[in-house]
């Protein structure tokens, strides 16, 4: 990178850029810095938000003023520069593995046939390819608990719908281009829907509220409609 990796975000945040591409090496750096900050929080730190290539660190400038820090941004920037130099070469912790049950096709996956047709496959082949892969969660965003997954097989990549749906049911599993994802709440969206999970990805009353987090490895497990209902899904 030939630019300053530290950038202010308003008056209470700093963006630390650790790479210029979405890849596993940059992701390792993001997760390593995230882990280091979680283990070594500094005074006034409020929240850490990992992204594809960045870590955003939010801090409370008022608290720092009360602690006698005259220039909070410069103080936090100095802390982060020191931390980045200290965590260099550090490995991220072992990834957590999460299995997501999915009922594919039918009313739960109304676009499964379209995805299959677009790629010259049968619906069963799409299900097999989609559920055999392991997916790395690069970040959580777009909607609360929405995982940005890497690792989908290009054999099932499908363009987004020309006309987005106004309401996609919670738990819907979709494909958009070369990515797959899960809608944690009902929302508009243009991805091709191939199935649905009965798991609640976002529970605001829980701590943490998101079932999934950056760095997790996800695997999808096909289930029948009966299993879907038995796992708590609405029929």
pLDDT tens digits, one per residue of 133-180: 999 999 898 889 999 999 999 999 999 999 999 999 999 999 999 999
Contact 134, 219 (CB under 8 A): yes
Residue 91: per-residue pLDDT: 64
Contact 231, 103 (CB under 8 A): no
* Residue ranges of domains in the chain, CATH in brackets: 6-87 (3.30.1360.40), 97-230 (2.40.100.10)
pLDDT per position as a tens digit, 91-116: 666 789 999 999 999 999 999 999 99
Residue 165: per-residue pLDDT: 95
Residue 74: per-residue pLDDT: 96
Residue 92: per-residue pLDDT: 61
Cα dihedral angle (231, 136, 132, 228), rounded to 10 degrees? 10
Find tokens 């630019």 and name the residue: 3
d(CA 104, CA 123): 9
Residue 217: C-alpha distances to residues 98, 103, 113, 135 (Å): 6, 20, 27, 5
Residue 24: per-residue pLDDT: 84
Q: How confident is the model at residue 207 (pLDDT cuts 50, 70, 90)?
A: confident
Give the residue among 198, 121, 124 at the shortest CA–CA distance from 157. Answer: 121
Query: Between helices 24-39 and 72-87, what is the axis angle to 10°?
Result: 120
Helix (H, G, I), strand (E, B) or coil at 7: strand
pLDDT, average across residues 30-51: 92
Residue 102: per-residue pLDDT: 98
């Amino acid at each position: 990178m030939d630019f300053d990796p530290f950038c202010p975000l308003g008056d209470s945040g700093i963006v630390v850029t650790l790479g210029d591409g979405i890849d596993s090496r940059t992701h390792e750096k993001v997760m390593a810095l995230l882990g280091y900050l979680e283990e070594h929080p500094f005074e006034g730190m409020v929240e850490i938000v990992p992204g594809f290539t960045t870590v955003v660190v939010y801090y409370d400038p008022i608290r720092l003023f009360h602690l006698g820090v005259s220039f909070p941004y410069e103080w936090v920037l100095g802390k982060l520069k020191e931390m980045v130099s200290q965590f260099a070469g550090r490995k991220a912790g072992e990834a957590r593995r999460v299995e997501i049950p999915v009922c594919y096709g039918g009313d739960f996956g109304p676009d499964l046939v379209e995805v299959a047709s677009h790629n010259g496959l049968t619906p069963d082949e799409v299900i097999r390819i989609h559920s055999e892969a392991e997916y790395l969660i690069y970040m959580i965003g777009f909607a609360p608990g929405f995982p940005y997954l890497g690792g989908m097989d290009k054999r099932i990549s499908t363009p987004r719908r020309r006309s987005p749906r106004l309401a996609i049911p919670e738990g819907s599993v979709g494909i958009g281009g070369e990515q797959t994802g899960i809608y944690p709440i009902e929302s508009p969206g243009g991805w091709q829907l191939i199935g649905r999970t009965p798991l609640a990805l976002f529970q605001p009353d829980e701590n943490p509220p998101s079932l999934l987090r950056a760095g997790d490895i996800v695997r999808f497990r096909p289930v029948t409609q009966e299993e879907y209902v038995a796992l708590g899904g609405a029929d």
